[in-house]
Amino acid sequence: MDPQPRVSQSHIARSLGISQALVSKILNGRRERIKPETYEAVWAHAVKVGYRPKGMTPHTTVAVGGNRQIGIVLRSGLQPFLASNFFSHVQAGLHRSLLARGYAMVMLGTEDTIDFSDPGPIPPALIVLGAVDPKFLRSLRGLTRRIVSIMGSYPGLCHTVRPNETQSVELLVEHLAGLGHQRFGWIGGLPDYPNHKTRFDTLQTALQVHGLPPIPDSAVVNTPDAADRHEGREAIMQLLARPGPPPTAVISFNGVMARGAVNALHQSGWKIPAQLSIAAIDATRACVEEEPHITCASSAPEKLGETAANLLFETTGWADEDYQNIMLSAQLRLGTTTGPVASAPVSRAPRKRRQAT
């Protein structure tokens, strides 16, 4: 495969309609007399088009006064300031907590763009968003031991903050089982992503705990490249086109896929939830930004960001044995996309479920 052509600073300047001199200052980490929104927009576009100044070393985005900054690193596939719907909520919680302490976030890059051959100065502490390769995390530890991971799990390497995925799934299954649902379906994306496998496997276990049959392969649709609205639309229509009785309730990997599925169903004449209930393992704006509101369950992503910031500032010891693995409780948020199975009585008392871990 031929290498991608190098993106120049002048190309970025023309695309954004600003001067090359301003772009050069920003891509060399200078913030003096530069509006924060301009700084972020330039870096967002630079990463989007593949700009890499000598490999995009971590120190290229560290401004003067870096001791008052916290570095942000994202997993492979995400883009700084254009992160996923979920991580934009996480970053909002981080921003509020850091701002209250007089600190600012500085985006260092992503797992697949950071080059450790010339580390230079970096902020005193790092937040890692998303599950990354442990080898990459060990490289970060070569720069600083003060690291908190959000969504990952790295015993003995750093602090971690995660949502209680088991509790999220069990809340949804308990709710839907109480409405009389027994035939479940699943739509998901990025099946190789660890969090995807965790949620699906947990769902199958929760169904078993409630005495319900597992989801058969015929009721599972996973899109290979993404987990967004378009994939949600494609997945739900593919699922319902298959032969045999359709599921009465479908659980989505996240809220944006669920939103795409709900919109596609409405356009196709399906009545939600009279004919099909839709729920999501999520707690982001995608579930409530338009009607109908989507039934969902998850830990609050903003709270993940706040908790990670607290760990950075409230932890005094950073020896390996002091690292904490914090799991935040989940909440069920009822929308109007779930309802009783047609002609099925609604259970007044949900079946007893096992204690979430």
pLDDT tens digits along 202-213: 999 999 999 999
The DSSP 8-state label assigned to residue 225 in this structure reads S
Q: Is the predicted pLDDT of residue 55 greater than 50, yes or no?
A: no
- Whether residue 126 contacts residue 140, with contact meaning beta carbons closer than 8 Å, is answered with yes
Owner of token pair 């015929």: 218
pLDDT of 18 above 70: yes
Taken as a whole, the chain contains a residue count of: 357
Q: What's the whole-number mean pLDDT along residues 72-101?
A: 81
Assign 62 a pLDDT band (cuts: 50, 70, 90): very low
Query: Could you say which DSSP state residue 292 is in?
Result: S
Rg (CA), the chain: 22
Residue 13 pLDDT level (bands cut at 50, 70, 90): confident
Average of per-residue pLDDT across 243-268: 96
Range with top average pLDDT, 51-60, 103-112, 250-259: 250-259
pTM for the full model?
0.76
Cα 24 → chain centroid: 31
Which pair of structure tokens corresponds to residue 275?
């004919």
Strand order in the sheet with 249-252: 220-223, 184-189, 249-252, 277-280, 295-298, 331-333
pLDDT digits (tens, 9 = 90+) for 32-46: 677 767 876 776 677
pLDDT of residue 353: 43
Residues of the chain with pLDDT > 90: what percent? Answer: 50
pLDDT-derived band at 357 (thresholds 50, 70, 90) equals very low
CB distance 72 to 106 below 8 Å: yes
- Name the average pLDDT for the chain: 84
- pLDDT at 58 (0 to 100): 47
And the tokens for 196? 């995807």
- Predicted local confidence at residue 185, as pLDDT: 98
Helical residues (DSSP H) of the chain, grouped into ranges? 9-16, 20-27, 36-48, 85-100, 134-141, 165-178, 194-209, 229-240, 255-267, 301-314
Q: Which residues on neighbouring strands pair with residue 184, listed in sequence order?
A: 249
Location of structure tokens 């960001």 = 305
pLDDT at 51 over 70: no
- Evaluate if residue 309 carries a pLDDT over 70: yes
Query: What is the band of 15 on the pLDDT scale with cuts at 50, 70, 90?
Result: confident
Phi, psi of 187 (to 5 degrees): -125, 135
Cα(first)–Cα(last) distance of the chain, in Å? 46
Can you give the pLDDT at residue 67?
Answer: 56
Number of other residues whose CB lies within 10 A of the CB of residue 320: 11
Question: Per-residue pLDDT averaged across 109-129, rounded?
Answer: 82
pLDDT of residue 302: 94
User: In this predicted structure, which of 31-40, 163-172, 196-205 has the lowest mean pLDDT?
Assistant: 31-40
Distances, alpha carbon 218 to alpha carbons 211, 240, 264, 280, in Å: 20, 10, 20, 19
Q: How confident is the model at residue 132 (pLDDT cuts 50, 70, 90)?
A: very high
**What pLDDT is attached to residue 79?**
66
How many alpha carbons lie under 13 Å from residue 269 in its C-beta half-sphere? 0
Mean pLDDT confidence for 156-166? 93
- Distances in Å between the alpha carbon of 221 and those of 27, 233, 261, 267? 41, 11, 12, 20
Residues 6+ apart with CB under 8 A from 245: 183
The per-residue pLDDT for 277 is 98
Nearest residue to 87 via CA among 117, 34, 129, 53: 129
